[in-house]
């Protein structure tokens, strides 16, 4: 199941059509670490409806999902959860970010940052999605920056630049992402690119936020100018 960039459910290599209510039900379950009660689900997804209508909407969503012959829902008494064999890209992204942040990522030098490149369901505006989107965004941004720093330390400067670019693209106004990328350029010996990146960030934050780069950024660039 895909929740990064957009909702997608696939089975045996083919995409499965899911109603909007079904998408929201599956997404809510996918983002929970434990089974959810039907009462909680109905109240969260259809908070503007009466209790009777909300339960009816939930029953309808469950029926439509099962009518597609998709064995993705498991009932645990009054609770619902996803079946154990459903793979969710968000969970994989969280696992990768956690390993990177704790310094135990295996195969980190392969440098595939695609799982950490996209926001959670960016066009959805429900409160429960907004909270999870921001939590995941912060986690993946810190992971990308840490990854970039570790690649620099390992002498993998080209890979470090690639990951640093992903971090900057994910959040252009985040200074720590720009600092990680600039440090990678400096380590690779590309002073001109480091200064160009600094100039771009300085102009961006002045135009968008009416701010100046921090002392940490100025110190990083100052080492270049003194050399």
Report how far Cα 203 is from the mean position of its chain's Cα atoms: 27
C-alpha triplet 54, 59, 63: angle, nearest 5°: 150
Statement to judge: residues 37 and 93 lie in one domain: no
Length of the chain: 227
Q: What is the pLDDT of residues 195-216, one digit of tens each?
A: 999 999 999 999 999 999 999 9
**Mean pLDDT score, 48-65:** 94
Statement to judge: residues 38 and 53 lie in one domain: yes
Statement to judge: residues 40 and 100 lie in one domain: no
pLDDT-above-90 percentage for the chain: 81
Please tell me the predicted confidence (pLDDT) of residue 156.
93
pLDDT > 70? residue 151: yes
Q: Are the CB atoms for 179 and 223 separated by under 8 Å? A: no
pLDDT > 70? residue 110: no
Q: Is residue 1 included in any domain, yes or no?
A: no
Number of domains in the chain: 2
CA–CA distance, 31 with 90 (Å, rounded to integer): 8
Please tell me the predicted confidence (pLDDT) of residue 102.
86
CA–CA distance, 72 with 52 (Å, rounded to integer): 25
CATH label of the domain that carries residue 192: 1.25.40.10
CATH label of the domain that carries residue 41: 1.10.10.10
- Lowest-confidence range among 51-60, 61-70, 155-164? 61-70
Q: What is the pLDDT of residues 119-150, one digit of tens each?
A: 999 999 999 999 999 999 999 999 999 999 99
CA–CA distance, 151 with 184 (Å, rounded to integer): 9
pLDDT > 60? residue 172: yes
* Whole-number average pLDDT of the chain: 92
CA–CA distance, 58 with 41 (Å, rounded to integer): 8
Q: Is residue 4 included in any domain, yes or no?
A: no
Q: Specify the residue for token string 């080209």.
A: 158
**Mean pLDDT score, 24-33:** 96
Statement to judge: residues 188 and 111 lie in one domain: yes
Please tell me the predicted confidence (pLDDT) of residue 13.
84
Q: Is residue 5 included in any domain, yes or no?
A: no
**Mean pLDDT score, 170-188:** 96
The candidate with the shortest Cα–Cα distance to 124, out of 20, 17, 19, is 20
Statement to judge: residues 161 and 211 lie in one domain: yes
Host domain of residue 64: 10-82
Q: What is the 3-state secondary structure (H, E, C) of the chain?
A: CECECCCECEECCEECCCCHHHHHHHHHHHCCCCCEEHHHHHHHHCCCCCHHHHHHHHHHHHHHHHHCCCCCEEEECCEEEECCCCCCHHHHHHHHHHHHHCCCCCCHHHCCCHHHCCCECCCCCCHHHHHHHHHHHHHHHHHHHHHHHHHHHCCCHHHHHHHHHHHHHHCCCCHHHHHHHHHHHHHHCCHHHHHHHHHHHHHHHHHHHCCCCCHHHHHHHHHHHHC
Statement to judge: residues 128 and 78 lie in one domain: no
pTM of the model: 0.86
Residue 6: band (very low, low, confident or very high) from pLDDT cuts 50, 70, 90:
very high
Statement to judge: residues 62 and 156 lie in one domain: no
CA–CA distance, 144 with 68 (Å, rounded to integer): 38
pLDDT > 60? residue 61: yes
Statement to judge: residues 70 and 111 lie in one domain: no
Q: What is the pLDDT of residues 87-104, one digit of tens each?
A: 999 999 999 999 899 876
Please tell me the predicted confidence (pLDDT) of residue 69.
66
């Amino acid at each position: 199941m895909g929740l990064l960039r957009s909702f997608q459910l696939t089975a045996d290599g083919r995409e499965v059509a899911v109603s909007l209510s079904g998408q929201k039900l599956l997404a809510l379950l996918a983002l929970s670490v434990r089974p959810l009660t039907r009462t909680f689900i109905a109240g969260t997804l259809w908070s503007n409806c009466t209790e009777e209508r909300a339960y009816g909407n939930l029953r309808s969503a469950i029926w439509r999902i099962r009518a597609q012959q998709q064995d993705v829902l498991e009932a645990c008494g009054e609770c619902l959860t996803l079946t154990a064999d459903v793979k969710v890209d968000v969970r994989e992204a969280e696992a990768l970010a956690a390993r990177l942040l704790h310094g135990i990522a295996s195969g980190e030098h392969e440098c595939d940052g695609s799982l950490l490149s996209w926001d959670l369901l960016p066009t959805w505006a429900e409160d429960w999605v907004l909270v999870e989107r921001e939590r995941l965004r912060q986690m993946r941004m810190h992971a990308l920056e840490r990854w970039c720093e570790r690649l620099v330390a390992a002498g993998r400067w080209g890979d470090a630049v690639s990951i640093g670019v992903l971090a900057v693209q994910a959040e252009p106004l985040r200074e720590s992402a720009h600092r990680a990328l600039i440090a990678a350029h400096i380590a690779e010996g590309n002073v001109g690119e480091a200064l160009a990146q600094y100039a771009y960030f300085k102009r961006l934050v002045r135009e968008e936020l009416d701010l100046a780069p921090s002392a940490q950024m100025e110190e990083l660039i100052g080492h270049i100018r003194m050399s």
